[in-house]
Amino acid sequence: MGGVTRNQPRSTPSRRWLNSHPVGRALGRMVSSLGAGILLYTSFPPLSLWFLAPAGLAILVLSVRGIGVRGAFGLGYLAGLGFFVPLLPWVGVYVGAVPWLALAALQAVAVAVFAGATALVARLPGAALWIACCWVATEAVRARLPFGGFPWGRLAFGQTDGPLLAIAQIAGAPGVSLSVALVGSATAAVVVGLARRSAWRSVSLLGSVLVTASALGSMPVPAAAVTTPSKTVALVQGNVPRLGLDFNAQRRAVLDNHVARTDALAAEVAAGVKPAPDLVIWPENASDIDPFRNADAAERIDAATEAIGAPILVGAVVSTGSGTTRNTALVWEQGTGPGDAHDKRRLVPFGEYLPMRSIVSKLSPYAAQAGNFVPGNGDGVVTIDETPLAVATCYEVAFDDLVSESVRSGAQLIAVPTNNATFGDTDMTYQQLAMSRLRAVEHNRTVVVAATSGVSAIIAANGDVLEQTEMFTADALVAQVPLNTEFTLATRLRSIPELIITVTAVFAMLVGWIASRRRRG
C-alpha cells in the first residue's frame, strides 16, 4: 500500500510566483520595505505604538538581506517614504501637499542610505551592532543637513512611553535610538538564524540584547532631593482667534488673549483657587507686536505683570531695525519692564526664513509668507526670578546640542515656549511634546511647555506629563517644580556618544566595502 499523504499546506500559484520569480521576489521586498516604514511611523505620537519600531527596523533589515547596495538603497527609500509621508502631513496643512511631500522625500534619503549601509555590513561578525550604529549615524547627519538639519523622526522620540526612555539619561537621544535599532537588528538576526537552523546562537544574541536593554531602561531617573529648591511656575495658554498662517494678522487679539488669561489667573490666585506663581511663561508669538516699538503692547504686558505679581517670559517678535526680525523670549519684570532675553538660535527653514529665496519664490506661491528672521546666539539661558531658565523655543527642542548647552550653562529648569497654531489640529503638537519628555529625562530637569493653542504641559524629570491643557482652549497651569542642579551622564557627555556611534558606523561600512570587493575579486 502506498503511504498516506497527510494534509500539508499548499503553496498557491501566486505565492510560488512571488517566491521563485525574480519580479515576484522584488515585489515582495518592495512591499515589506514599505510596510517596515509604516511600522516605524506607528511608533510615534499620536499612535505611540513604541514596540513596533524594532519590528519595523527588523523587517527592513530582512528586506535588504542578500542584495547589493544599490538595490538596498532603493528599498530603503521606499521604507523612508512609508515612514515620513504619514509622519509629516502637518507640514502641508495650510501650504498644500508639495512642501509636505518634498520634505518627506528628502528625509527618506536617510533611510535609503541606512539600507545601503546595511547591505555593506550585514555579513560582518556582530552585524546587528554595526547595523544599529548605521541607523544612528544617518540620524546624526539628518539632524544637521541640509539647512541646519531636521531631527524629526528620530527613533528616540517615539519611545517616551516605552521602557528604553531611561537610557536617555546615560547617552541621550542617540543612546535610545541605538537601543531600539539594536533590538530590531538582533531580531532580524534571530530570524535569519532560525532559517539556517542555528536557533540557539540567534536566540542567545537577542536574549543578550534584550537583557542589556532592559537593565539600562529600568535604571531609575534620579529624583530631586527633599532639600532641592523649587519655584511655582505658571503657564498661560491664551489661544488664538483663528488657525493657519494668517493668525498673525490678528496679532493684537493674540496678545490680548494672553493678557486676559493672565488676568483671569490673577483673579484665581486672589480667590485662593490657585497658588501665586513666582514666574509666568507665555508661549512663542504671544506678542507678535514688538513691545519695544509699540507702547500699547508694552503697556498691556506691564499691566499683566502687575496683575499677576510676577515676571513673565514673553514670546515676542522683535525688529532688528534692518528689515529683519528676531523670535525672542523676553523676560518682562514687574515694575521695570524688559530684562533678560533669548533670541531663537535654530530657525525653521522655509518658515521663519527662506533659503534660496529667489529660486523657491518662483516654485511656490506660499514662499512669500516665509519670515525674514535672523538667528540669535548665546547659551539659551535667561534669568527670571533669580532662576536660570533654559529656553528651547519650539523647533529648538528637537536639537540635542541646544538644550544640552543651556543645561550645562547652569539652567535648573527647561521651558519650551511654542506656537503650534500654524499647524492646526495635527500630530505635530504631540510629536513635539514627546521630544520635551525625552529632554526631561535626558537632563533630569522639569520641562514646562507653553503653547499658544495647546498642548501646554508640565513634565516631571522622569518624563511623566503631570498636567496638560486641551487644544484650542484658553487655560493656565500652575505647579511647584524642583530646580535641579545635578548633571546626568548624558549632559556631561554631550555629543560624544553620537560621535562614537557614527565613527563606528563609518568604520564598519569601510570594512564591509573592502570585504565585498574581495568577494567580487
Measuring CA to CA, how many Å separate 183 from each of 49, 66, 210, 325? Answer: 15, 20, 7, 46
Cα–Cα nearest to 62, from 38, 86, 31 = 31
Sheet strands side by side (includes 312-319)? 337-343, 325-333, 312-319, 279-281, 230-237, 475-482
CB atoms within 10 A of CB 215: 9
User: Which one-letter DSSP state was computed for residue 385?
Assistant: T
CB atoms within 10 A of CB 469: 22
Q: Where are the domains of the chain?
A: 14-221+496-520, 230-345+382-482
Q: What whole-number distance in Å separates Cα of residue 405 and Cα of residue 377?
A: 12
Q: Which helix (H) or strand (E) holds 480?
A: strand 475-482
272 dihedral zone (left: phi>0; alpha: psi -120 to 50; beta): left
The pLDDT of residue 425 is 65
Q: Phi first, then psi: what are they for 381, rounded to 5°? A: -110, 130
| CA 87, 55, 108, 154 torsion-angle sign | positive
Question: Cα(first)–Cα(last) distance of the chain, in Å?
Answer: 55
The pLDDT of residue 30 is 94
Q: What whole-number distance in Å separates Cα of residue 385 and Cα of residue 104?
A: 42
The letter for the amino acid at 492 is R
In this prediction the pTM is 0.90
The pLDDT of residue 2 is 46
Query: For residue 46, is the peptide bond before it cis, meaning its omega torsion is within 30 degrees of 0?
Result: yes
Q: What whole-number distance in Å separates Cα of residue 221 and Cα of residue 210?
A: 20
Q: What whole-number distance in Å separates Cα of residue 48 and Cα of residue 433?
A: 12
The pLDDT of residue 330 is 97
Q: Give 10-residue mean pLDDT values along the chain (521 residues).
A: 49 55 81 97 96 96 94 97 96 80 96 97 94 98 94 97 94 97 92 70 63 65 64 96 55 92 98 97 94 95 97 96 92 95 93 74 64 92 97 97 97 95 79 97 97 94 96 96 95 96 97 88 67
CB neighbours of 358 closer than 8 A, spacing ≥ 6?
none
C-alpha cell at 205: 544574541
Helices (H), ranges, 93-126: 97-121
CB neighbours of 439 closer than 8 A, spacing ≥ 6?
392, 397, 403, 414, 445, 447
The pLDDT of residue 200 is 59
The pLDDT of residue 5 is 47
- Residues involved in catalysis: 284, 344, 394
Q: What is the CATH number of domain 230-345+382-482?
A: 3.60.110.10
The pLDDT of residue 493 is 96
Q: Phi first, then psi: what are they for 458, rounded to 5°? A: -115, 120
